[in-house]
């Protein structure tokens, strides 16, 4: 088939969109570098493509459940497809709230949820590989097998000027998406351990701390930072953060978006994992990156979204990961 324009729909959280970026190079390799690729995504996560020349346009979709007749954003997407029909629509969204939208978009061929068989083979576990199934019938086996998540961020020169970063730094990303919920944050490592790790690493390498806006209350608990620490919490745009991660020697985080970003720019990532299944939702291991899963490997893990997790009152799987264990993993990787 001849494809010169593609519309991709992925409106989940940051990690979900990172997973879906595997489609970009797959389309370019299969149909040519001049293939136009547009995305539909949530307004915040869509800025991930601000410096990515591979992506032509991003349509923001804030209210996913709003019916078409009430949604100006959905109308804009449909109108654009009516003015110039897409050759291919790839839909990564399984929610029924997307059905009327994908059916109303003009495209010569549609694939993914609602259009093709999306049953998951037993030998496929990771969400990246599951996501890729939506375009498996569109590309050759060779291209499918070498298509992985990839991000492009702000250039190193621009970042050095903006944030005064050295040429050799490691990133600590201690928060996660559950930080502000009024429940036990099952993915979190204890603050005392983060403080100890920051202190230990900063004696050997520049440490960059990253985090989102609105998380100051959490980060204040980790302060004051020692010397040789650069505080970039709430100071980077999403595309700047991609660049900062891209130019780091490594990143330490829990199971959260920055870990997925690191694996997508081939920055060595050290992921502290407890309740979540690393082989399903952890940072993706490709042939070109290095992912270190650091876990206490307790018999009750993983327990995410099970009765075991609901009954857990002490977050023991994360508390059992020691600072020494994390430090030794980084040291063994020859990053210090």
- What is the average pLDDT score of the chain? 93
Residue 179 pLDDT greater than 60, yes or no: no
| C-alpha–C-alpha distance, residues 130 and 11, integer Å | 16
Condensed to tens digits (0 to 9), the pLDDT of residues 214-258 reads 888 899 999 999 999 999 999 999 999 999 999 999 999 999 999
Condensed to tens digits (0 to 9), the pLDDT of residues 52-85 reads 999 999 999 999 999 999 999 999 999 999 999 9
- Which residues contact residue 297 at a Cβ distance below 8 angstroms, ignoring those fewer than 6 apart? none
DSSP secondary structure letters along 53-97: TT--EEEE---TTS-GGG-HHHHHHHHHHHHS-EEEEEE---SGG
| C-alpha–C-alpha distance, residues 86 and 63, integer Å | 23
> Considering only 12-26, 28-42, 184-198, which range has the smallest mean pLDDT?
184-198
Per-residue pLDDT, 295:
95
Per-residue pLDDT, 177:
61
Condensed to tens digits (0 to 9), the pLDDT of residues 128-149 reads 999 999 999 999 999 999 999 9
| C-alpha–C-alpha distance, residues 61 and 73, integer Å | 6
Residue 181 pLDDT greater than 80, yes or no: no
Residue 306 pLDDT greater than 90, yes or no: no
Per-residue pLDDT, 309:
81
Percent of the chain topping pLDDT 70: 98
Per-residue pLDDT, 305:
83
Condensed to tens digits (0 to 9), the pLDDT of residues 80-133 reads 999 999 999 999 999 999 999 999 999 999 999 999 887 888 889 999 999 999
Record the tokens describing residue 9, joined without a space.
């729909």
Q: Which class for 120: exposed (0-12), middle (13-18), buried (19 or more C-beta within 10 A)? A: exposed
Place 311 in a pLDDT band, splitting at 50, 70 and 90: confident
> Model-level pTM?
0.94
Place 178 in a pLDDT band, splitting at 50, 70 and 90: low
């Amino acid at each position: 088939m001849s494809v010169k324009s593609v519309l991709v729909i992925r409106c989940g959280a940051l990690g979900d969109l990172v997973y879906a970026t595997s489609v970009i190079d797959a389309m370019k390799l299969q149909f040519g570098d001049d293939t136009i690729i547009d995305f539909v995504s949530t307004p915040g996560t869509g800025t991930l493509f601000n410096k990515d020349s591979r992506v032509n346009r991003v349509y923001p979709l804030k209210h996913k459940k709003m019916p078409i007749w009430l949604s100006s954003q959905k109308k804009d997407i449909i109108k654009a497809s009516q003015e110039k029909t897409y050759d291919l629509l790839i839909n990564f969204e399984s929610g029924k709230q997307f059905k009327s939208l994908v059916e109303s978009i003009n495209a010569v061929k549609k694939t993914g949820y609602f259009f093709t068989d999306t049953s998951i083979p037993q030998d496929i576990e990771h969400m990246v590989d599951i996501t890729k199934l939506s375009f498996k019938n569109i590309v050759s086996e060779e291209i499918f097998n070498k298509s992985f998540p990839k991000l492009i961020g702000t250039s190193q020169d621009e970042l050095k000027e903006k944030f005064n970063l050295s040429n050799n730094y490691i990133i600590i990303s201690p928060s996660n998406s559950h930080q502000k919920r009024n429940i036990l944050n099952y993915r979190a490592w204890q603050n005392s351990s983060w403080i100890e790790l920051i202190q230990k690493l900063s004696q050997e390498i520049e440490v960059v701390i990253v985090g989102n806006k609105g998380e100051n209350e959490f980060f204040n608990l980790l302060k004051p930072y020692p010397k040789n620490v650069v505080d970039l919490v709430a100071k980077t745009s999403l595309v700047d953060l991609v660049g900062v991660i891209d130019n780091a020697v490594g990143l330490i985080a829990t199971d959260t978006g920055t870990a997925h970003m690191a694996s997508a720019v081939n920055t060595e990532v050290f992921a502290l994992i407890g309740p979540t299944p690393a082989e399903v939702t952890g940072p993706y291991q490709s042939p070109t990156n290095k992912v270190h899963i650091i876990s206490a490997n307790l018999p009750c893990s993983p327990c995410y979204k099970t009765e075991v997790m609901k009954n857990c009152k002490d977050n023991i799987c994360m508390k059992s990961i020691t600072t020494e264990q994390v430090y030794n993993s980084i040291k063994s990787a020859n990053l210090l």
